[in-house]
Chain A
């Protein structure tokens, strides 16, 4: 394997990591409150706003049902507005983030909804404010599930990031398409696939381990 190729793979891996890290971070930061809102704003819940809840749910569904590659192209004007360009790794981060927000939000919603309703009632009976219930009860109790949700989001992001090569996004996916497929280099393709598998594996096991550490439900004396 030539040093040039190694360099290419190294740069592509870094690009992928950068895209995933930034899109994952911003996406989770915005997706988390949206997910909490979705889980707590139904009728008779902590922050009852059923109409807003439905509206937000609709937007989330719309974004999630748009195929990622179409989302990338469709929001090019917005991408240009934010980053000043519509091609390259930096530009790719915008659609990746946009796709992450609703994905993570739905997972957060499910994780929060999974918290025992009895705990919410107990907290209310203690005189907790809705905000205190969110921070001291819901987020604390959902922490293992939220960790797994974030893990799943990052793994999906790694997959999505392979598609942004279409707008010159760079990264491992782009490398695989351009060298492995278009230049008939099965060796490059193989390496790209292996690196992706390793990345996903690392993220998944780290996430699982972290979630297990947070989960105090299964312990026995």
Chain B
């Protein structure tokens, strides 16, 4: 049995949002609005926690509260037990040196080389030249860009720039890494390689990662815990696997519907009928987790019902490191075949959902 993220004790928490609200006063042409409304959330130490929401949901504001780039209007944000809102400017600067941050548009200095960019936070912290050199080189190795140390950002690809951003964020040896849409400007392949790097850093350095994103793919690929934010409120949270397999809130479902394999092919969806006629086939969605996802279920199904099975749509994937599968299959709707199938599903602990009938 796993413990939901929300019940993790504060002593194990890297970050705690406690009833946090953020209101922006009206200024110029923009009206006053509430970016966050009474948000409570715990980020477990050593976890990769994702906060997902559509743009304008308040996730950028939320992540900026952690290192004090924004101040809460109400409530408290605790980082390693320290109340961020109570810190003065000097205290905030000290905190920020122990919290790394990476950005959607990388925010590298164009005037500095790769080496110079990674060295910047160390210069800011007042470290001497030699010590900086000793710190930067292994970081460039870690992100796989040691050979690029004398290049300028303009000479690098997006993925390479983000690797530099990560190396820079790690330079001060933080315990917490904030990722602000770090892969949103990257293509899918590069996104995967950056996510792999984040996972590796999380595992090897024991670094807590708090990331915000609007892409379910990102949450699915790396996070252990997730919170869904909508209109400034947390609408759902828990272990990523649970949220993905049993989404409760409408926003979560809407975000999940963008994932491949979750939708029926258009031609099939159009041909679905709510009731069976003679000779029709039954369309069923099977969802299976854990060990079941690794067994040859379809061939076993065919054997046990003694009839043909069509695979209409499907995906087998990892969510938060656990295998998860979703298959849409069709087989004879006659009572004998479907009865055998039902027994097979029950014996194997598969979750099924009847979608309809096709001719």
- Our pick among B109, B112, B154, B156 for the contact of A218 (Cβ within 8 Å) is B154
Q: Which residues of B contact A140 (CB under 8 A)?
A: 109, 111-112
Q: Is A2 close to B, CB under 8 A? A: no
Tell me how far the C-beta of A137 lies from the nearest C-beta in chain B, rounded to whole angstroms: 7
Q: Is A221 close to B, CB under 8 A? A: yes
- Our pick among A119, A121, A136, A220 for the contact of B154 (Cβ within 8 Å) is A220
Q: Which of A116, A126, A143 has the most CB of B within 10 A?
A: A126
Q: Find out whether the CB atom of B109 lies under 8 angstroms from the CB atom of A127.
A: no
User: Contacts A141-B110, A214-B111, A216-B154 hold; do A127 and B125 have CB atoms under 8 A apart?
Assistant: yes
Tell me how far the C-beta of A13 lies from the nearest C-beta in chain B, rounded to whole angstroms: 36
- Our pick among B93, B99, B110 for the contact of A217 (Cβ within 8 Å) is B110
Q: Is A167 close to B, CB under 8 A? A: no
Q: Find out whether the CB atom of A216 lies under 8 angstroms from the CB atom of B124.
A: no
Q: Which residues of A contact B101 (CB under 8 A)?
A: 122, 125-126
User: Contacts A126-B120, A127-B125, A136-B123 hold; do A118 and B107 have CB atoms under 8 A apart?
Assistant: yes
Q: Which residues of B contact A119 (CB under 8 A)?
A: 107, 109
Q: Is B96 close to A, CB under 8 A? A: yes
Q: Is B137 close to A, CB under 8 A? A: no
Q: Find out whether the CB atom of B155 lies under 8 angstroms from the CB atom of A221.
A: yes
Q: How far is the CA of A118 from the CA of B109 in the complex (A)?
A: 10
Q: Find out whether the CB atom of A126 lies under 8 angstroms from the CB atom of B121.
A: yes
Q: Is the interface of A mostly helix, strand, loop or mixed?
A: helix
Q: Find out whether the CB atom of A124 lies under 8 angstroms from the CB atom of B69.
A: yes
Q: Is B172 close to A, CB under 8 A? A: yes
Q: Which residues of B contact A216 (CB under 8 A)?
A: 110-111, 152-154
Q: Find out whether the CB atom of A136 lies under 8 angstroms from the CB atom of B152.
A: no
Q: How far is the CA of A121 from the CA of B125 in the complex (A)?
A: 16
Q: How far is the CA of A220 from the CA of B156 in the complex (A)?
A: 8
- Our pick among A129, A136, A141 for the contact of B93 (Cβ within 8 Å) is A129
Q: In residues 158-194 of chain A, which contact B (Cβ within 8 Å)? A: none
Tell me how far the C-beta of A221 lies from the nearest C-beta in chain B, rounded to whole angstroms: 5
- Our pick among B96, B105, B154 for the contact of A126 (Cβ within 8 Å) is B96
Q: How far is the CA of A132 from the CA of B95 in the complex (A)?
A: 17
Q: Find out whether the CB atom of A122 lies under 8 angstroms from the CB atom of B103.
A: yes
Q: Is A123 close to B, CB under 8 A? A: yes
Q: Find out whether the CB atom of A126 lies under 8 angstroms from the CB atom of B69.
A: no
Q: Mark A107-137, 1 if CB is under 8 A from B, else 0.
A: 0000000001011011111111100100011
Tell me how far the C-beta of A25 lies from the nearest C-beta in chain B, rounded to whole angstroms: 24
- Our pick among B67, B96, B111, B154 for the contact of A143 (Cβ within 8 Å) is B111
- Our pick among B94, B107, B111 for the contact of A121 (Cβ within 8 Å) is B107
Q: Is B45 close to A, CB under 8 A? A: no
- Our pick among B97, B103, B112, B154 for the contact of A127 (Cβ within 8 Å) is B97
Q: Find out whether the CB atom of A125 lies under 8 angstroms from the CB atom of B67.
A: yes
- Our pick among B97, B109, B124 for the contact of A141 (Cβ within 8 Å) is B109
Q: Which residues of A contact B178 (CB under 8 A)?
A: 125
Tell me how far the C-beta of A84 lies from the nearest C-beta in chain B, rounded to whole angstroms: 44
A120, closest chain B residue (CB) = B107
Q: Which residues of B contact A116 (CB under 8 A)?
A: 107
User: Contacts A141-B110, A217-B110 hold; do A128 and B154 have CB atoms under 8 A apart?
Assistant: no
B95, closest chain A residue (CB) = A127
7 closest Cβ pairs, A-B complex: A127-B96, A122-B107, A127-B97, A127-B93, A216-B152, A126-B121, A118-B107
> Which residues from chain A sit less than 8 Å from chain B, CB to CB?
116, 118-119, 121-129, 132, 136-137, 140-141, 143, 214, 216-221
Q: Other CB < 8 Å A-B pairs besides A132-B124, A216-B110, A219-B155, 7 of them?
A: A123-B120, A125-B101, A126-B101, A126-B120, A127-B97, A140-B109, A216-B153
24 CB-based A-B contacts, threshold 8 Å: A118-B105, A119-B107, A121-B69, A121-B103, A122-B101, A122-B107, A124-B96, A125-B69, A125-B96, A125-B178, A126-B120, A126-B168, A127-B124, A127-B172, A128-B93, A129-B93, A136-B124, A140-B109, A140-B111, A214-B111, A216-B152, A216-B154, A217-B110, A219-B152
